[in-house]
Each structure stands twice: as structure tokens, then as C-alpha cells.
Amino acid sequence: MQDIYVYFENGLFLKGKSFGADGTHIGEVVFNTSMTGYQEIITDPSYAGQFIVFSMPEIGIVGSNTDDMESKKAFCKGLITRHYNKSYSNFRSQESLAKFLKSQNILGITHIDTRSLIKTIRNNGSMMMIASTSICTSKDLKRQLSQSKQIQEINLIPEVSTKTNYVHQNSVFDFNNFKYGSPPKITKKIIAVDFGAKRNILNELVAVGLEPEVIPHNFQANTIVQKYKSGEIKGVFLSNGPGDPLMLKDEVTQIKLLIEAKIPIFGICLGHQLLSIAHGYKTHKLKFGHHGGNHPVKNLQTHTIQITSQNHNYSIPEEIEQIAQITHRNLFDGTIEGIKYKNSPIFSVQYHPEASPGPKESANLFKQFADML
């Protein structure tokens, strides 16, 4: 493994070892607290433009395989770990994590004190960083980083969204037989707007009897409204995705038209945030966001606690309570995790009920959407 040099916008300069692609990448650094599922995390499109610091110190043990891909490719800039395991051992493995990262042009950085780095991010908040296998001085790295855009200035959605319409037909992965399960009888067709949708979200929609037609982010609401009025579709799903939702002005304009048409809508993560903005309530950025598979969320309707998978840097404001019922709250920081709009057939959650990786105990929300339709 060759040397790799890392510089953060707060002035921190580190030297590690590279086990992924060569080159120089710039992005925002966040930390993830999940203990398993590194390939699903790396291939989550919501990490586009970001470096992922794993709190789990050992990475690479189970290699990688095509079944654990959550999108067609990986969109993150790189990953940072305490120790990379060159030797991998799992009967599902097809290649090493290092080989996978190189094929995806993603930096792999190891021999870093991730405990100290995560404390720095926790105290200073998410920040921009640069990592390079060819630039070795802090001065040169700082200069190149200072000339780059902040992540909130970059529209990442066109990169991760589908370019053409398609119908998703796979159901959830059957871990008993290690293959995708047969989809149940389709009862209702829906539109799924792809802002960077994870594959398992679409799988979960199919698993409850829905047939999602996946469409690009730059959709025209009038076409969807016509399909809804004709009975061709029964509702709309708004997916997760990367970046600052306030940048997506055209998408918000189209979502407003869907709201006005009283179409049933379910939103997850970015979709949840865009629905808030479309209703007139702007999002704000959290200090270091929620990234991991161990976040406790309270269901305020059932008074039960769910352990959830999360990946977001933004949150909707408390003022939305004027038009929506708050249904879920994060027990770490009290932020809103779910709402149901009072005068519309619309509900949304900030966390990821489809998991992959993470707990599956919130998957009933997909059935809730199907029942509402």
C-alpha cells in the first residue's frame, strides 16, 4: 500500500495508507456508526460527494459481491478506516474490497486514528477534505481544497438519478436461500421518483404488492397527474438522495403540483425534506448529520422505540407542526424523523425503513403506504 495524504478544512493534516484507487479526490467528510454492511453503505447514492469514516475499526473482512450493491455503482469519494483487512473470508465474496474500490474509482484510506477523527468531526461538524496519493504537502492540498466548491454548492442529483424510465420488479433479498425472492401479486402501480434511490427501497415497495415505475429526477408533474386521474397509477414515492435539498428548486416546483393534485405520496430521506420545502418549510443542516444503523427513533403514535438506519445531513423545521402531525422523533437529538400531513394523503420519514444495512423493524411503513393507496 502506498502513502496517501489527507487535509481537512480545519487544518488537520494526516498521512495514511492507500488501498483503493489512485488520484486526488475532494468531498465532505462524515462518520458512520454501523458495525456491518460496509458495501451497502459505500454504494448508497446518498453518500455522493462524501468521504465515509467508519467507526467500525476493521473493514474488508467479507470482501464484496454484486448482491450487496445498493445502486448501479458507488458514488462516494472515498472511505477512511482504522485497519483494512487484505484477507477476506466469506462464501458470498467475489472479490476484495480493495479491488472493488479500484474498479469504482474510490479512494480507500487506512492506518488512520478514526476514533480521534470522529471526535474531531463531532466537535467541529461535517467539513470538506481532500485526499491524494500524488500530492504530499499540506500547503498544496490546502490550496487545491480552498479553490473547490462546498458540497452544498454542488447539485449531485443528476449524477445519481436514472436517465430513463424503467419498471422495478425484484423483491427483497431472501437471506435464507441467498437470492432475491419472488415478487408477490402486484395490486397497484406507482411512480417512484429517483433522486438516488437505494435498490432495497424499490425491493420493499415490490414486496408489499406495488409495481414502481422509476423515473428521473427532472420529471414533469403534469404527466404523473394525468396517470393518476386516469387510474393508471395509485400514488407517488419520493426517494432518498444526496446533497442540499434547497438546491432542487425545479424538483420542488413539480412536487408542489403533485401536492395540489391530492396524489398520495410517501417520501424517504431527501423525499421527506423536499416535501417539507414544497409545503413552504425550509430545511436546515445538522452539525454532523445522522449516519449509521443504531439510531433510536420513537414512534409517537404507538409509543414504541425503533432502532433505525439513517444517512442524512439535513432536517426539517419544528414549525411544520402547523400543517403536519409529527409521528416520529430521534431520541439522540430530538429532531423530527417522521410526519403525516393533516390535509393531504402524504406522509414521510427521515430515516431508512428499508435498512440494508441496519435493522428491519421499520419496514412496515411500506405496507402502510400500500394500505393507504
Any idea which residues carry the catalytic annotation? Answer: 269, 352, 354
> What is the rounded distance in angstroms from the CA atom of residue 351 to the CA atom of residue 329?
10
Strands 188-193 and 50-54: unpaired
Cα of 147 vs its chain's centroid, Å: 27
Angle, vertex CA 176, rays to CA 173 and CA 179, nearest 5:
40
> What is the rounded distance in angstroms from the CA atom of residue 362 to the CA atom of residue 340?
16
Angle, vertex CA 247, rays to CA 220 and CA 280, nearest 5:
75
Contacts of 51 (CB under 8 A, 6+ apart): 25, 27, 28, 29, 30, 76, 77, 78, 79, 80, 107, 109, 129, 131
CB atoms within 10 A of CB 359: 16
Cell 445522522 appears where?
A: 290
